[in-house]
Amino acid sequence: MNYQHSMTCYTEGIRTVAPVKWRGLDGLMSVFWDAEGQSGAKAYYLSPDPRIVIFFNDVSAHIRMSNRDGSFGLHTRPMTRAIYVPAGIPLWTNFTSSHRFSHLDLHLHKDRLLRFLSPSVGTSAALTALRRPVEIQDVTAVETLAGLLVHEVASPSRHAVYAESLVGSIVSGLLDIPEHDGEQANGRLTKAQINKLIARVNARGDCRMTVAEMAATVGLSESWFANVFKQTTGETPLQWQLRKRIDLARTLLSGSSLTVADIAAQLGFSDQAHLTKAFRHVVGETPAAWRRLRQLR
């Protein structure tokens, strides 16, 4: 399949520091970038095809990303080491500080991905995986594969099937492929979806996400997500999220000298009274009383 990727791309304040290396393969395009971005640099990407981006250095402290808008307010989050962006999902990025980085871009034709995945996992599971965005920080195995692919892209030495097999391994290692086709039909979230939610919520300093953001994280509609989440955990998404925030409050109460008011502000509660009420509801006592008891032990 002769494949030419088509992506709308706008960048400002980002420049390459070495020649771009690329190689076209069967239904996919591999592109390696070595670049740097200034503080305040920004970019916008939208592709009709799925794509994978793998960074070879940690950029989470320097680059923020959002799929909702370019204002980088409520929906912003740190850029992770590897992301899978489904077809038609926009991505905005913003540099909070100057940073040099390198990354591998894989532009993938949907039919090529289906042809690769369907024989092993089935068409239904493959289509589900292609709709689910992925963002991970731990890329040990995927980074090794990506490094081998970059070397082959920069200096081709073997048949194209070798590079294509590396791409296939990256895809199968990164995409969130359902363990069983029937899990969603049975009204429960998969283990991978739960792990993704936990990672995303933990990445937020205040452990706050809207139900719509949580649903988008696992590739479900908001109404369907709320239903299967309750079936899986026994809690509504907001109850689960509140418990996570209270767990974080307990960590801060026992491991820091922050006042209850400071902790309330850090975790996004409207004031100390709001945190106290929520804390008492979950734990059974006020934050101040809970802290005093721990200090006496």
Task: State how far the Cα of 287 lies from the Cα of 263, in Å rounded to an integer.
Answer: 10
Task: State how far the Cα of 99 lies from the Cα of 37, in Å rounded to an integer.
Answer: 5
Based on the domain organization, do 265 and 151 belong to the same domain? no
Q: Is the pLDDT reported for residue 288 higher than 60? A: yes
Amino acid 39: pLDDT: 95
Mean pLDDT of 230-240: 89
Based on the domain organization, do 54 and 158 belong to the same domain? yes
Mean pLDDT of 188-205: 81
Task: State how far the Cα of 159 lies from the Cα of 292, in Å rounded to an integer.
Answer: 67
Among the ranges given (17-31, 213-227, 254-268), the one the predictor scored with the smallest mean pLDDT: 213-227
Answer whether residue 1 is part of any domain: no
Give the amino acid at 35: A
Direct distance between the N- and C-terminal alpha carbons of the chain, in angstroms, rounded to an integer:
68
Based on the domain organization, do 126 and 222 belong to the same domain? no
Task: State how far the Cα of 274 lies from the Cα of 268, in Å rounded to an integer.
Answer: 10
Short-list 95, 67, 105, 100, CA closest to 11: 95
Answer whether residue 93 is part of any domain: yes
SS3 87: coil
Q: For residue 224, give its domain range.
A: 183-234
SS3 262: helix
pLDDT tens per residue, range 133-170: 888 888 888 999 999 999 999 999 999 999 999 999 99
Task: State how far the Cα of 218 lies from the Cα of 189, in Å rounded to an integer.
Answer: 9
Amino acid 255: pLDDT: 83
Amino acid 3: pLDDT: 66
Based on the domain organization, do 31 and 110 belong to the same domain? yes
Answer whether residue 3 is part of any domain: no
Last residue of a domain, one of 177, 197, 213: 177
Based on the domain organization, do 63 and 106 belong to the same domain? yes
SS3 253: helix
Q: What is the secondary structure of the chain as a DSSP string?
A: -------EEEEEEEEESS--EEEEETTEEEEEEEEEEEEEEEEEEE-SS-EEEEESS--TTTEEEESS-SS-STT-EEPPSEEEE-TT--EEEEESS-EEEEEEEEEE-HHHHHHHHHHHH-HHHHHHHHHS-EEES--HHHHHHHHHHHHHHHS--S-HHHHHHHHHHHHHHHS---SSTHHHHTT---HHHHHHHHHHHHHSTT----HHHHHHHTT--HHHHHHHHHHHHSS-HHHHHHHHHHHHHHHHHHH----HHHHHHHTT-SSHHHHHHHHHHHHSS-HHHHHHHHHH-
Answer whether residue 2 is part of any domain: no
Last residue of a domain, one of 129, 151, 177: 177
Amino acid 179: pLDDT: 61
Q: Show the tokens assigned to 77.
A: 């989050």
Based on the domain organization, do 75 and 214 belong to the same domain? no
Based on the domain organization, do 79 and 170 belong to the same domain? yes
Answer whether residue 213 is part of any domain: yes
Task: State how far the Cα of 287 lies from the Cα of 247, in Å rounded to an integer.
Answer: 11
Based on the domain organization, do 215 and 246 belong to the same domain? no
What domain count does the chain have? 3
Short-list 52, 16, 12, 60, CA closest to 34: 16
Answer whether residue 20 is part of any domain: yes
Based on the domain organization, do 139 and 87 belong to the same domain? yes
Residue corresponding to tokens 């090794």: 144
Answer whether residue 162 is part of any domain: yes
Structure confidence at residue 181 as a pLDDT band (50, 70, 90): very low
Based on the domain organization, do 90 and 36 belong to the same domain? yes
Mean pLDDT of 56-83: 83
Q: Is the pLDDT reported for residue 4 higher than 90? A: no
Based on the domain organization, do 23 and 128 belong to the same domain? yes
Last residue of a domain, one of 214, 234, 254: 234
Amino acid 106: pLDDT: 96
Using a 10 angstrom Cβ sphere, with 0-12 exposed, 13-18 middle and 19 or more buried, the burial of residue 254 is: exposed
Amino acid 216: pLDDT: 82
In the DSSP assignment, the letter for residue 88 is: T
CB hemisphere CA count around 242 (13 angstroms)? 16
Q: Show the tokens assigned to 82.
A: 């590897």
Mean pLDDT of 228-257: 89
Answer whether residue 147 is part of any domain: yes
Domain CATH number, residue 35: 2.60.120.10
Based on the domain organization, do 27 and 170 belong to the same domain? yes
